[in-house]
Structure 1
């Protein structure tokens, strides 16, 4: 494993993060690969719809892709923890790129069988390379200082937010000159090139063939799955619970914004409201990483989730889309900080041999929550007044924040320690992403 940087950080900054040895090269490669995820969902939706002429088929194909991507994420991360990113990522990326290429070929012209598209999409989702969790594990390897690590995670989250804003814009450029299937082909090329560049980084090469389990790893019966043992760690379990609630809240919010705008015959304003949410998340992430906090990560997490929930409740009382956009920006201020904090808790709650998988559980929680939240909002939006729907969307974040805060108080404070050195299941650790922030609007936004 690479030794962590000893860059002094009395006043750590984002520039200090990028000056850390091998950080800029490694981070740039990971972002190039992760741009694929910013493009692939919209490209796949447009291409399948164009090939089949059916939004229902397009939605079903996307659901299959998202389901296998999200729910198999911890398993893929476990392979990386055991065998190392250099062994696992290239075959994953190669297989994923080939399957995306097959999808691009099948959807290039109309008439593709729906069953074939569904099978290819499900297979592709099962092999999505977890570049976000791997990058966060590498940040933990590269950066020793806890304040600097928090800034690294915040920078990672804000950068990812920008990827998921710019990705659809790039798809829009592609479809002006080529069929939508070309966007899938570009996504395949990005993931392959980005992954190969990442594994060639000295930071990844130094990590070798994975990290052997240590005394910090969660204990449990030999026949108990590793993932379930990890979720027995109190800190990680709380992080997963809160991020699932954040995902529920955000998934519902996206659909409710559409309904709110259409009820006022201002459907074109939807993109501006969602852009305000993303802008707020980016600003919140940058500000959060720049401030030195005295409270522990586990103390801050429920407060951030509660702030998001309160902002969503307020958004439901908006008299116009302009006020809704402003309150969406306020809600966004809490999104990237909440997810960044959850990833930090995941990192510090387990030993070095399980960090990628711990981060992947947070990924899975926020993406699964987002999907369920959107589905639930779709069932409620025609049955309840808009203001009530916004409150319902906020309830998971508020309830989970209260439950986790109560649990943290009951356990009491615990002395902080260096990354990975605290006993598993211990209390909060002081200190400071893929994917640390962002709004998690689709099923692979944290891959």
Structure 2
């Protein structure tokens, strides 16, 4: 795997015109997704007196958020962030405020809470895909774009760590429903600031034409055409690997807890193992972004997924929790690189004007895999030895990596209708 380190740093990403303000605003808005889940869980359980109801409400919210994300992202591609993101954010904030009012005191009607949560999830603005679409337009150099995606991925992971902590602090001085209101304020204010920093519509010719600070069209690395997705969809391998990573990650978290229980370890030690997984992912993401890869994104993606699967398959052989913690840190080192590369591949293979939707499909793959992984782990644990469970989880990641080895033919055997400027219509690059 040929690589070399490049001198431009992560600071160079933030020096790109518009980047710092847009990224800061997007992170503020995306922090709401780190705070809303624990706030919903705590406030609904307190208001209804039922953990099963709370879990159902959270599941409905998550389902509409995840599975309708590509549809919402397509509205951004079609109409631009001002017309699409602002109404979504306003509706989302209003529905979260309704949820906060309903759950502020005990005695909330469970059916009304569930419907409000489902509707709120259906309106959640896809800020991650929108920000990645903007990165793709702002950053001309492919190596710097990889670094931008790496920075974005690591920052997003930290948001999901800091969000629950913020809700915990707020719950000490206010009712849990205050966390839902906080989520609404963060999302609405952050989205408005993000839209204000966007010169025009990311992913469209209008964006490039009206943005003098944008450094021109971004050529695909190697100057050759990537195989296009079908009708604006990204390469199937990007979504498949994202699905496998999400499944492996959620399974691994539950298996770590089962490992600690089976070996009679102190439950308080489990967060250390899960924290090692997140820390490894953050460090791996930073390292991946600092390297200028010469290998094609598709090949790197499959290798990262294969490495993740191999490490997880061996994790069940760990003799104690501390060894398993070290193995989890190693496994985490491949998570952020795999997801970052999946987003890059989705961007490369997206049809013109479909970048936000392509990134949303990868997001959906990760979250759908996470949901399936939780279900799969629940079925495996207790029925099979944990060492075999870890092996099966690793095998799932290996299968998605193997699926990407088979190079797909372009849809209908035809090249993409309008290649980006600077691309050469011809055979795809060799691995």
8 Å CA contact 2:203, 2:353 repeated in 1: no
Q: 1:27 to 1:317 in 2, by over 3 A?
A: same
Q: Work out the CA distance in 2 between the residues paired with 1:313 and 1:334.
A: 14
- Residue 268 (structure 1) aligns with: 268
Does 1:390 pair with 2:384? no
Question: How far apart, in 1, do the equivalents of 2:189 and 2:63 lie?
Answer: 25
* Matched positions, count: 399
Counterpart in 1 of 2:111?
Answer: 115
What are the Cα deviations for residues 39-96 of structure 1, in whole angstroms up to 9, with x where unaligned? Answer: 1111111111111121111111111011111110000000000000111111100100
- Aligned mates of 2:175, 2:422 — CA distance in 1: 52
- CA 1:113–1:428 in structure 2 vs 1: closer, same or farther (change >3 Å)? farther
Matches within 5 A, 1:332-351: 332-351=332-351
For residues 190-244 of structure 1, what are the alpha-carbon distances to aligned partners after superposition, in whole Å with 9 as ceiling and x for unaligned?
Answer: 001100000110xx233289558xxxxxxxxxxxxxx96334x6xx211011111
Q: Which one of 27, 33, 54 corresponds to residue 58 of structure 1?
A: 54
Check 1:390–1:206 CA distance in 2 against 1; reply closer, same or farther (3 A cut).
Answer: same
Match of 2:209 in 1: none
Change (3 A) 1:146 1:114: same
Structure 2 counterpart of 1:222: none
The aligned residue for residue 218 of structure 1 is none
Residue matched to 1:177:
173
Q: What does 1:160-309 align with in structure 2 at a 5 Å threshold?
A: 160-201=156-197, 204-207=198-201, 229-231=231-233, 236-263=235-262, 264-309=264-309
CA separation of 1:426 and 1:77: change in aligned 2, threshold 3 A: farther
Alignment equivalent of 1:137, drawn from 133, 136, 139: 133
Residue 349 of structure 1: how far off its partner (Å): 0.4
Unpaired stretches in structure 1, ≥5 consecutive residues = 1-8, 213-226, 431-447
Aligned partner of 1:85 among 74, 81, 84: 81
* Equivalent residue in structure 2 for 1:23, among 19, 26, 29: 19
Counterpart position of 2:428? 427
- Contact 2:104/2:175 (CA < 8 Å) preserved in 1? yes
TM (norm. structure 2) is 0.88
SS of 1:352's equivalent in the other structure is: coil
Please report how far the alpha carbon of residue 24 of structure 1 lies from its aligned counterpart in structure 2 after TM superposition: 0.4
The offset of 1:424, in angstroms, is 9.4
Q: Deviations over 1:391-421 (max 9, x none)?
A: 1212221011112124379xxxx9xxx9776
Pair 1:424–1:57, CA change in 2 (3 A): farther
Whether the 8 Å CA contact 2:77–2:202 is kept in 1: the answer is no
Q: CA deviation at 1:426?
A: 6.5
Q: Matched residues in 2 for 1:348 and 1:420: separation?
A: 13
Within 2, Cα distance between the matches of 1:25 and 1:314? 43
- Pick closer, same or farther for the CA change 1:365–1:423 going to 2, 3 Å: farther
For the Cα contact (< 8 Å) 2:265–2:321, is it kept in 1? no
Partner in structure 1 of residue 314 of structure 2: 314
TM-score of the aligned structures, taking structure 1 as reference length: 0.84
Task: Write out per-residue CA displacement over residues 135-186 of structure 1, whole angstroms, 9 at most, x where no aligned residue.
Answer: 0000011000000000000000011111111111101101111111111110
CA distance in structure 1 between the aligned counterparts of 2:202 and 2:97, rounded to whole angstroms? 30
- CA RMSD in angstroms, aligned pairs only: 2.6
CA distance in 2, matches of 1:343, 1:421: 21
Q: How far apart, in 1, do the equivalents of 2:430 and 2:237 lie? A: 14
How far 1:247 moved relative to its partner?
Answer: 0.9
| Separation (CA, whole Å) in 1 of partners of 2:426 and 2:353 | 16
Choose from 3, 7, 10 the match for 1:11: 7
> What does 1:406-445 correspond to in 2, within 5 Å?
406-407=406-407, 427=428
Question: Aligned to 2:329, what secondary structure does the other structure show?
Answer: helix
